[in-house]
Amino acid sequence: MIIATTTSEVRGQVQKWRQAGLTIGLVPTMGYLHEGRASLVDKAVTLCDKVVVSDFVNPTQFGPNEDLETYPRDFKRDCALLEEHGCALVFHPSADEMYPDGNGKTDTYVEILDEMPRQLCGKTCPIHFRGGCTIVAKLFNIVTPDKAFFGQKDAQQLAIIRRMVRDLSYGVEIVGCPIVRETDGLAKSSRNTYLTSAEHQAALILSKSIFLGQKLVADGEKDADKIVAAMEANIKTEPLAKIDYVSAVDGITMMPVHMIGNGTLVAMAVYIGKVRLIDNFIVEE
């Protein structure tokens, strides 16, 4: 596995692969990888000849009060896992390599101007998706992948990236990959490592509420407000849980819906102690 730290190294290698007629998959990550992210690499390996994984904690998507400094990092462990899963090149740039103006700053952003990035997770951190789109656009420009792989767990991010690709005419196919859960149901996330064992137990209320919502839909409930209310009531039974949001939205536009239909996204963000966790399901009829 090649470890590259500069954009020119990545471009040089990609050019060689292109000349050999190989297809390229990109899995953008912020490192501290877990089986959820590894499943994106597995998927990419089945669909592309060469898989590039970016491992970069992107400063522009963290708000001033967020955990940029303390965001967990373990590049050595990431490399071992990526090699095991068949990654051909890991791109691990410095912040200055990606943002040459220094301090993770840039004056050039990619931003969707309508309401889409301001719903759900965008309410608590309005700059999050602007930073995410900007770094993903930069990675697309550097790696020029045929396909790029994103997790359904970050459903709003996935929808926003699809929109950016459409609006900016990127020639990359976006592949959404299913949520990976612990055996106890908790959706895998780098932030799970912040949880104490008591908090981990408490965090199971997220997946339990997701499963409750899915059951209500399967039983024929169409009223999105009733489903959201039932899920919220369930979350409130857990003393360590504090709801940020539980919402039913259109899975493409992220705008609120009152009736459940095919493609409705039911999403939540819940604080367990200080740790903010997200989970969701998509209605498939």
Residues that bind ligand PAF (CB under 6 A): 28-30, 58, 61, 132, 135-136, 154, 157
Q: Quick one: 155 or 260, whose CB is closer to ligand PAF?
A: 155
What whole-number distance in Å separates Cα of residue 53 and Cα of residue 247? 32
In the complex with ligand PAF, which residue's Cβ is closer, 13 or 29?
Answer: 29
- Residue 98 burial (10 A CB sphere; 0-12, 13-18, 19+): buried
Distance CA 216, CA 96 (A): 49
Q: Shortest CA distance to 228 belongs to which of 180, 276, 281?
A: 281
Residues 6+ apart with CB under 8 A from 213: 227, 228, 230, 231, 266, 281
**Measured from the CB atom, is 121 or 231 closer to ligand PAF?**
121
User: Please, what is the minimum distance in Å from the beta carbon of residue 30 to ligand PAF?
Assistant: 4
Beta bridge partner(s), residue 242 = 271
Strands 173-177 and 147-151 come out as parallel
CB of 61 to ligand PAF, least distance (A): 6
Q: Tell the smallest beta-carbon distance from residue 229 to ligand PAF (Å).
A: 30
CB of 256 vs ligand PAF, minimal distance in Å: 23
- Least distance in Å: CB of 285 to ligand PAF? 28
- CA 276 – CA 124 distance, rounded (Å): 11
Residue 151 Cβ, how far from ligand PAF at the closest point, in Å?
7
Q: Which is nearer to ligand PAF, 177 or 203 (CB)?
A: 177
Specify the residue, 128 or 208, whose C-beta has the smaller distance to ligand PAF: 128
DSSP code string of 161-194: HHHHHHHTT---EEEEE---B-TTSPBP-GGGGG
Residue among 173 and 225 whose Cβ is closer to ligand PAF: 173
Whole-number minimum distance, CB 260 to ligand PAF, in Å? 27
Read out DSSP for 82-150?
HHHTT-SEEE---HHHH-TTSTT--S------SSGGGSTHHHH-TTHHHHHHHHHHHHHHHH--SEEEE
CA dihedral 3, 68, 154, 170 (to 10 degrees): -60
